[in-house]
């Protein structure tokens, strides 16, 4: 049955499988596959300042098909693609800071067998790539960028 976005889960899986077939292969390590998904998500979605939140499948559709959206779209797209290769990313939601009155950033935690690391494929104006960052790396960046990745640590499993 089609979603409110007009697509079925089977169609979404088909889109994801086509993308995955073009960027990964069986000889790649899990790390290399996760990086290929990161690069594809970051490089193929145009940034829009706002997108609908809450519907992860719609977010993945917007990223894979419409190829535009905000951090929610980037996170939803990467999450969907990672799940298609049997990984289980967790979603992090930014907490409000003194600079913003809303929870306005989403990214992922990913465990490739060595514990959770931060995985944020959203494009940033300064060009930073947040692929498999430690908590210490992300905290330092966030503190230097107006709380860009402020979150409540006790809501999530231990991060490397």
pLDDT (tens digit per residue) in 115-154: 999 999 999 999 999 999 999 999 999 999 988 999 999 9
Relative to beta strand 46-47, strand 68-69 is parallel
Instruction: Tell me the pLDDT tens digit for each residue of 46-59.
Output: 998 877 788 999 99
Please state the φ and ψ torsions of residue 6, each to the nearest 5 degrees: 90, 15
Residue 34, SS3? helix
pLDDT of the residue at 110: 98
Query: pTM of the prediction?
Result: 0.93
pLDDT of the residue at 75: 98
Instruction: Tell me the pLDDT tens digit for each residue of 83-100.
Output: 999 999 999 998 876 666
């Amino acid at each position: 049955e089609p979603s409110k976005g007009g697509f079925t889960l089977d169609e979404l899986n088909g889109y994801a499988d086509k993308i995955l077939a073009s960027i990964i292969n069986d000889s790649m390590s899990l790390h290399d596959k996760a990086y290929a998904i990161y690069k594809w998500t970051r490089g193929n979605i145009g940034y829009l300042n706002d997108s609908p939140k809450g519907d992860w499948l719609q977010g993945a559709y917007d990223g894979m098909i419409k190829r535009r959206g905000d951090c929610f779209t980037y996170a939803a797209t990467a999450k969907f693609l990672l799940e298609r290769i049997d990984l289980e990313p967790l979603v992090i939601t930014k907490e409000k800071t003194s600079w913003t009155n809303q929870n306005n950033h989403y990214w992922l935690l990913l465990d490739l067998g060595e514990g959770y690391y931060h995985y944020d494929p959203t494009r940033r104006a300064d060009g930073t790539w947040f692929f498999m960052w430690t908590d210490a790396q992300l905290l330092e960046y966030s503190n230097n960028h107006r709380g860009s990745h402020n979150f409540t640590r006790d809501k999530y499993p231990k991060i490397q």
